Amino acid sequence: MTEKQSAQHVWEAALGELQLQVNKSNYHTWLKGTTGLNSQDGQFIIGVPNTFVAEYLDRNQRSLIEKVLTDLTQQEMRVQFQIHDSPAKTLVRPDNRIKPVSPHQARMPLFNPKYTFDSFVVGNGNQLAFAAAHGIAENPGHSYNPLFIHAGPGLGKTHLLQSIGNLAQAHDMKVIYVSAEQYTNELMTALREKKMEDFRGKYRNADMLLVDDIQFFSGKEQTGESFFHTFNELHNSSRQIAVTSDQRPKDIPSLPERLRSRLEWGLVTDIQPPDFKTRLAILQNKADEKGIDVSVDILEVIALQVQQNIRALEGALNRVIAYAKLIKTGLTPELVNQALRDVAANEEKKTVTPLLIIEAVVNSFQLTPTDLKSRKKDEATVLARQVAMYLIRQETDCSLDEVGKELGGRSPATVSYSYQKIATSLNDCPSLQRKVFDIQQRLYTVSAPAGR
Ligand code: ADP
Ligand code: MG
């Protein structure tokens, strides 16, 4: 037996022991898929898939692992973690699944470029979900299938799901991302127009399927059943599925039982509200992203006030930034408190609504809401409409479908295309950037009357 084989042998025994000592999701996330690379002179080298796992194990499980290895080998063992891409885990993709991307798809990237793993701040409440999401994006179909992420509103479910999509798409995978609502609408349209073959074909051909807010299937038996079959087809051929929900599978009411049990097959993990340190790091990140310098004591005041929802946390930061521009004297913690007075109380409520966004956009472009919802195709109206779609997506929880409805019944594909177009233009066009930023600021300085 070579040193390498024997290291692997020992490591497999150690994994058997570790599996008994740590909880199941912990084992699946951090230990499963690691390898024994080498063992020499009391040094044991463990191969791990990425730096994140290396850091986690090093910080949290080093002593346990060393104890297990020492017991097994009857020799004092020190461990080292090394990034190692195990050949068994690399993606195998049969040729018949590689389909050329249609020009339509090429024109319409599905993912928000803002939502990447890089821009996701990892803290206590979300590190498991982050690692699992990252793991399946790097190694689809081989670790946890499906991945099920549940959390309350504004805690990063969509951000993580989109990050998976962004990364997998960069690896040339054919990824389908839909909200459960959008899936339902597509299914209904396919049934009505007798286009079920197309519908099935679309989903059957995906390398990866990401479904956001799956609690929407609750009580919708036909959709649940349809999704059960889609799920099976993909799962049977090891294609990766990831879903998010505001509840764990067992708590989603009226979901077909066999779908529920499938959803529990892989890894079910949650995201907890961020602790103070994480909230502060998120605020720092968002301020950096906007290229705005906000002092730490100001960020601390915001982080103290808004605790349960990261979308609200960002909203509070935007509000403070807008405030700072208005009063030119510079911010003090007292002024921040004033700017945030009703944010904290309204934390769970959305303060910005599609209606407010449409109002702000038409004011800025000197148009009317009717123009925006009409079929008018002149350059100014089209741009304003696209900006409105972009902002509604950005600032509210609305699905593509809902955004389309708010703007005179545009299709989800149009909304997605518009979103992407504005997101790209913002990078190249400072005047548009200024305009959109001004609208955003106005949204957060004019406080929304309750119930709108
Ligand atoms: P959910 O889908 O759970 O309602 P989102 O994914 O839409 O929440 O997140 C709401 C906002 O908070 C988004 O702008 C997202 O980028 C941001 N966000 C959430 N979690 C994090 C995080 N850990 N790091 C950075 N930004 C985050
Ligand atoms: Mg979401």
Q: Is the CB of 164 under 6 A from ligand 1?
A: no
The whole-number pLDDT of residue 1 equals 60
Query: Does position 57 have pLDDT exceeding 90, yes or no?
Result: no
Q: Rounded to an integer, what distance in angstroms lies between the CA atom of residue 26 and that of residue 64?
A: 13
Cβ of 310 closer than 6 Å to ligand 1, yes or no, is yes
- For tokens 């006030």, the residue is 305
Cβ(160)–Cβ(153) below 8 Å: no
* Residue at token pair 């498991």: 128
**Residue 244 contacts residue 135 (beta carbons within 8 Å):** no
Task: Tell me which of 349 and 107 has the higher pLDDT.
Answer: 349
Cα–Cα distance, 176 to 140 (Å, whole number): 13
* Residue bearing the CA closest to ligand 1, atom 6: 156
Beta carbon of 393 within 6 Å of any ligand 1 atom = no
Distance 371 CA to ligand 1 centre (A): 32
74: left (phi over 0), alpha (psi -120 to 50) or beta: left
User: What are the CA-CA distances from residue 52 to residues 127, 144, 161, 260 (Å)?
Assistant: 10, 17, 18, 30
Report whether residue 141 contacts ligand 1, using a CB cutoff of 6 Å.
no
Confidence band for 333, pLDDT divided at 50, 70 and 90: confident
Residue 152 CA, closest ligand 1 atom number: 3
The alpha carbons of the chain give a radius of gyration, in whole angstroms, of 24
Task: Say what the pLDDT of residue 381 is.
Answer: 95
Closest ligand 1 atom number to CA of residue 155: 3
Alpha-carbon span 409 to 391, nearest angstrom: 17
Q: In this structure, what DSSP letter does residue 449 have? A: P
Where in the chain are the domains? Answer: 3-83, 127-270, 276-346, 354-447
Nearest ligand, measured from the Cα of 216: 2
Between strands 208-212 and 175-179, the pairing is: parallel
At residue 290, does pLDDT exceed 80? yes
Q: Do 283 and 297 touch, CB atoms closer than 8 A?
A: no
Ligand 1 contact, 440 CB (< 6 A): no
**Ligand 2 center–CA 55 separation, angstroms:** 28
- Give me ligand 2 centre to Cα 250, in Å: 20
Tokens of 110: 């599905």
The upper half-sphere exposure of residue 403, i.e. CA atoms within 13 Å in the direction of its Cβ, equals 28
What mean pLDDT do residues 7-14 have?
Answer: 91
Closest-CA residue, ligand 1 atom 20, reads 156
For residue 115, the CA-to-ligand 1 centroid distance in Å is 8
What CATH architecture is 276-346? Orthogonal Bundle (1.10)
Please tell me the number of Cα atoms within 13 Å of 219 on its side-chain side: 2
Q: Which pLDDT value is given to residue 343?
A: 58
Query: Which CATH architecture describes the domain 3-83?
Result: 2-Layer Sandwich (3.30)
The ligand 1 atom nearest the CA atom of 159: 6
* DSSP label at residue 42: T
Q: How far apart are CA 117 and CA 133, in angstroms?
A: 9
Q: What is the mean pLDDT of residues 19-36?
A: 81
pLDDT tier at 420, thresholds 50, 70, 90: confident
Percent of the chain with pLDDT over 70: 89
CA of 86 to the centre of ligand 2 (A): 33
How many C-beta atoms surround the C-beta of residue 252 within 10 A? Answer: 21
Report percent pLDDT > 90 for the chain: 53
Average pLDDT over residues 306-327: 85
How many helices and strands (H and E) does the chain possess? 22, 8
- The pLDDT, as a whole number, for residue 59 is 80
Mean pLDDT within 90-104: 37
Residue 120 CB–ligand 1 contact under 6 Å:
yes
pLDDT tens track for 79-88: 999 887 654 4
The number of beta carbons lying within 10 Å of the beta carbon of residue 366 is 9
In this structure, which ligand is nearest to the CA of 317? 1
Could you tell me the distance, in angstroms and rounded to a whole number, from the CA of residue 282 to the centre of ligand 1? Answer: 10
Mutation probe of ligand 1 site: the residue of 310, 313, 390, 400 with most atoms within 8 A of C-beta: 310
Nearest ligand 1 atom to alpha carbon 130? 23
What is residue 444's predicted lDDT score, i.e. its pLDDT? Answer: 67
Q: Does ligand 1 lie within 6 Å of residue 157's CB atom?
A: yes
Cα 108 to averaged position of ligand 2 atoms, centre (Å): 20
β-pairing, 267-270 vs 147-150, is: parallel
Structure tokens at 259: 């779908």
Respond yes or no on whether the N-terminal peptide bond of residue 273 is cis (omega within 30° of 0): no
What pLDDT is attached to residue 445? 60
Higher-confidence residue: 42 or 49? 42
Q: What is the mean pLDDT of the chain?
A: 85
Q: Which atom of ligand 1 is nearest to the CA of 161?
A: 6
Q: pLDDT of 130-153, one tens digit each?
A: 999 999 999 998 889 999 999 998
Query: Shortest CA distance to 405 belongs to which of 358, 350, 447, 360?
Result: 358
Which of 85-94, 120-129, 186-195, 438-447 has the largest mean confidence?
A: 120-129
Torsions phi, psi for 78 (to 5 deg)? -110, 140
Mean pLDDT score, 440-445: 72
**Which of 96-100, 111-115, 373-377 is the least confident region?**
96-100
Query: Is the pLDDT confidence value at 155 over 60?
Result: yes
Q: What per-residue confidence (pLDDT) applies to 91? A: 38
318 lines ligand 1 (CB under 6 A): no
Mean pLDDT of 211-239: 94
393 secondary structure, DSSP code: H
**pLDDT exceeds 60 at position 347:** no
Tell me which CATH code domain 354-447 carries.
1.10.1750.10
First to last CA, the chain: 71
Over residues 296-309, mean pLDDT: 90
> What are residue 176's DSSP bridge partners?
209
409 conformational bin, left if phi > 0, alpha if psi -120 to 50, beta if neither: left
Q: 206: pLDDT confidence band, cut at 50, 70 and 90?
A: very high
Tell me the residue type at 222.
Answer: Q
Q: Is the CB of 159 under 6 A from ligand 1?
A: yes
Q: What is the DSSP letter of 248?
A: -
Is the Cβ atom of 270 under 6 angstroms away from ligand 1? Answer: no
Residue 118 reports pLDDT greater than 90: yes
Q: Is 154 in the pocket of ligand 1 (CB under 6 A)?
A: yes
C-alpha of residue 6 to centroid of ligand 2, in Å = 46
The pLDDT confidence band at residue 346, using thresholds 50, 70 and 90, is: low
What number does CATH give the domain 127-270? 3.40.50.300
Residue 297 has pLDDT above 50, yes or no: yes
- Does pLDDT of 98 surpass 80? no
Instruction: State residue 409's pLDDT score.
Output: 94
* Cβ-contact 217, 188 below 8 angstroms: no
Q: What is the pLDDT of residues 235-269, one digit of tens each?
A: 999 999 999 999 999 999 999 999 999 999 999 99
Stretch 159-177: mean pLDDT, rounded? Answer: 94
**Residue 449: its pLDDT value, please?**
40
Q: Please, what sign has the CA dihedral across residues 29, 33, 36, 37?
A: negative
